[in-house]
Chains A and B, each alone.
Chain A
Amino acid sequence: NAGVTQTPKFQVLKTGQSMTLQCAQDMNHNSMYWYRQDPGMGLRLIYYSASEGTTDKGEVPNGYNVSRLNKREFSLRLESAAPSQTSVYFCASSEAGGLSQYFGPGTRLTVT
């Protein structure tokens, strides 16, 4: 099993450009999450999907949109990137209830 996979691993954007971060899990988990981590900080939840067909805002949703494409895939879109969105983005999944989250390797995004 690959666990949680994320693409791309690295990305550089110019201010105002858009992009979609992809995440997939093969553990048949119901819940999926998108976090961002700024240098020296803990993770902050952007959006989560408790189950297929549902999405909810987390702590820092502004500037982002998400799509739960199916049970396996959960994408994060930046419509108009800003330098403040420079960060490492992590996707995670868990069985229902948020316990024992499994994380992907992260996407390092730089917005210039």
Chain B
Amino acid sequence: DAKTTQPNSMESNEEEPVHLPCNHSTISGTDYIHWYRQLPSQGPEYVIHGLTSNVNNRMASLAIAEDRKSSTLILHRATLRDAAVYYCILRDNYQLIWGAGTKLIIKP
């Protein structure tokens, strides 16, 4: 199964953009790249997903490298409510392969 690699933690200042990196060098051509986040003591929350092209939605943007071996989740203006663990996940048919994620710390 293709896996992802993310930094254990990152810090950012409030109201600044945040770039969360993810490496997935063994990704296959049909794997979708998903991002979820998990706030403390809550279930995960879907953020965004993409296959080849960059994607935008109301929560974030997803930038996918041309060779698809890495991607970056971009939060355009982080708030304290964005403090969470962010998971970069590849989808294998119905199964999402979860890693340990990146803990994002937002400093006021």
Residues of A whose CB lies within 8 Å of any CB of B are: 4, 31, 33, 40-45, 48, 50, 56, 58-59, 90, 92, 97-106
Instruction: Check A100/B46 contact, CB under 8 A, given A48-B95, A56-B94, A58-B95.
Output: yes
Q: How far is the CB of B82 from chain A (nearest CB, A)?
A: 18
Contact of A42 among B32, B45, B95, B101 (CB under 8 A): B101
Q: Are B99 and A42 in contact (CB under 8 A)?
A: yes
Q: Which of B36, B91, B99 contacts A98 (CB 8 A)?
A: B91
B94, B98, B99, B101 — most chain A CB neighbours (10 Å): B94
Partner of B96, one of A4, A40, A98, A106: A98
Which residue of the partner chain, among A58, A90, A97, contacts B44 with CB atoms under 8 Å?
A: A90
User: Which residues of B come within 8 Å of A, CB atoms?
Assistant: 32, 34, 36, 42-46, 49, 87, 91, 93-96, 98-101
Decide yes or no: A99 and B49 within 8 Å by CB, A42-B87, A43-B44 being known contacts: yes
Question: Would A103 and B44 count as touching, CB distance under 8 A?
Answer: yes
Partner of B94, one of A50, A100, A102, A106: A50
Residues of chain A contacted by B42 (CB below 8 angstroms): 105-106
In contact, A42 and B98 (Cβ under 8 angstroms): yes
User: CB-nearest residue of chain B relative to A48?
Assistant: B94
Docked complex Cα distance between A99 and B98 (Å): 14
Distance of B34 from chain A, by nearest CB (Å): 8
Closest chain A residue, CB of each to CB of B45: A103
Inter-chain contacts of B46 with A (CB < 8 A)? 100-102
Which residues from chain A contact B44 at a C-beta distance below 8 Å?
43, 90, 92, 101, 103
20 contacts across the A-B interface (CB closer than 8 A): A40-B100, A42-B87, A44-B98, A45-B95, A48-B94, A48-B95, A59-B95, A90-B43, A90-B44, A92-B43, A92-B44, A97-B94, A99-B49, A100-B49, A101-B36, A101-B44, A101-B46, A103-B44, A105-B42, A105-B43
8 extra interchain contacts, Cβ-Cβ under 8 A, other than A102-B46, A103-B44? A42-B101, A43-B98, A48-B95, A58-B95, A59-B95, A90-B44, A101-B44, A106-B43
